[in-house]
Structure 1
Amino acid sequence: MVPPLALDIDGTLTTPEHTIAPRAFSLLAGWEAPVVLATGKAFPYPVALCQFAGIPERVIAENGGVALADGQLEYAGDPERVDAAIEAFEERGGDLGWDGVDTINRWRETEVAVRRTADEALLRGVAAEFDLQFVDSGYAYHLKSADASKGAALTGVAETLGYEPSDFVAVGDSENDASTFEVVGESYAVANADETASAAADHVLDRGYVDGTLDALRAVRERAVDDA
């Protein structure tokens, strides 16, 4: 029996061009245990990916701020404090950096994502002032409550699904995946992972992006077959 999975999306199920690889859909749909998509994106994005992949909606979004599993929806963090911090950031000359309609934050409920071209020092200072956590996912800067994380959310999702967090295998690429790696039984960082994720993972893969993820899951499946 294959183990349940906790998979990041960006940099993990995507290509170097930041698009979802078509071969990822068959991977997700064909896995015989629960698959949880754990991302820094806003909640609708992983839900939509589950729908298009034809798998149950089991997701962790906004770096642990929102979690859904088998119809049970949970929130973590203090969005009002985040909003107050972002207001202070903008009053001091900061800019979220998203041109036109801000689809990055439009449906975000518990945190705010800021373009990585923004004033990092100012944003870090505001985060410290409001007792919030600054996270660099490699794709955006995130301001969120310190008690919200992918790992904490996975602990709750695992309970809902009838598993222990240690039953899961996780694959990721960013510092926001390190908390997931800390609670699962086995973790893989793809070759394009940042230093924090690579240091926290049990294994660092030779290939990056979706190709590395496929390599990891082939190894997991082969081991499960050998152990059967």
Structure 2
Amino acid sequence: MTPPLALDIDGTLTTPQGTIDPRAFDVLPAWDAPVVLATGKSFPYPVTLCHFLGVPETVVAENGGVVLADQQVSFTGDRERAAAVAEEFEARGGDLGWGAADTINRWRETEIAIHVDSDEELLREVALEYDMEVVDTGYAYHVKSPGVEKGAGLQEVADILGLDAADFVAVGDSENDVSTFHVVDESYAVANADDRARAAADVVLEEGYMDGTLSVLHEIADR
């Protein structure tokens, strides 16, 4: 029986240059089980990727802050408090790092993301004052409400779909994937994964990025 998948996007379905690996358009639409895109990106990104992949829109976005499954959408997290952290961070000399348009946060509904070249120490100091968390995905610092995690989002998706979250196979590459790894029975960190993801995964793959993800999918298909 083909298991459902919980797949991160950046570093997992991408090339080392950060673009979506075109091989995803071959393997994921043909997958004979639900595919959940679980990401730190804002809500429109995974929804759009599902659309262009031609798979049902089933996503965990914003590190668990937004969940979409079977046309049901839920939001968890205090966007206003996250925005207050960002405002205070800037008032103390910090820089969000995305430029005037800030397309990274423009459609973000439950958290705020800050560029990884920004002042991490200052950001964490301000976030602590507002009782907010900072998660480092390797691509951005995410200011979010405590307890909002991808793993909780995947559990919600599984409940909506009538599945057991433990039956999912998860693949990821960073700190924000750890909670997902904890709710599934089979988890993989690609070779480019950070230390926390590597420590939490059942298996650390020899291949990185989409090469690593494909190795898992091919292995499952051959069982």
1:30 lines up with 2:49 in the alignment: no
Shift of 1:100: 3.4
Cα shift readout 1:89-114 (whole Å, capped 9, x = no counterpart): 11111110112311100100100010
Report the TM-score, using the length of structure 2 for normalisation. Answer: 0.98
SS at match of 2:110: coil
By percentage of residues, which structure has more helix? 1
State whether residues 127 and 133 of structure 1, in contact with CA within 8 Å, keep that contact through their aligned partners in structure 2.
yes
Structure 1: how far apart are the matches of 2:184 and 2:133?
22
Gap runs ≥5 in structure 2: none
Aligned 8 A contact 1:173 1:194 in 2 = yes
- Structure 1 residue identity aligned to 2:24: A
Matching of residues 15-26 of structure 1 within 5 Å: 15-26=15-26
Unpaired segments of 5 or more residues in structure 1? 224-228
Amino acid at match of 1:181: F
2:12 maps to 12
TM (norm. structure 1) is: 0.96
Runs of 4+ in 1 over 3 A off after TM superposition: none
How many angstroms does 1:130 deviate by? 0.9
Q: Which residue of structure 2 aligns with residue 171 of structure 1?
A: 171
Letter of the 1:16 counterpart: P
Partner of 2:59 in structure 1? 59
Q: 1:226 maps to what in 2?
A: none
Between the two proteins, the alignment pairs up a number of residues equal to 223
| Structure 1 SS opposite 2:23 | helix
> Superposition RMSD on alpha carbons, in Å?
0.7
Give deviations 1:67-125, integer Å, cap 9, x for gaps.
10010101111112111111211111111011231110010010001011111110010
Q: SS in structure 1 opposite 2:222?
A: helix
What is the CA–CA distance in structure 2 between the aligned matches of 1:100 and 1:130, rounded to whole Å? Answer: 25
The equivalences for 1:1-228 within 5 A come to: 1-223=1-223
SS state at 1:30 partner:
coil
- Asked whether the equivalents of residues 58 and 70 of structure 1 are also in contact (C-alpha less than 8 Å), the reply is yes
Q: Secondary structure at the match of 1:170?
A: strand
Query: Match of 2:37, SS?
Result: strand
Q: Which moved more, 1:158-167 or 1:92-101?
A: 92-101
- Cα distance in 2 for partners of 1:203, 1:80 equals 38
Distance in 1 (CA, whole Å) between partners of 2:107 and 2:161 is: 26
Q: Secondary structure at the match of 1:42?
A: coil
After superposition, what is the alpha-carbon deviation per residue over 1:45-78, rounded to whole angstroms, capped at 9, x for unaligned?
Answer: 0000000000000001100000100101011111
- Amino acid in the other structure paired with 2:60: I
Between the aligned residues of both structures, percent identity stands at 65
* Contact 1:37 1:58 survives alignment (8 Å): yes
Partner of 2:191: helix, strand, or coil? coil
Is the CA contact 1:76–1:147 (under 8 Å) kept in the aligned structure 2?
Answer: no
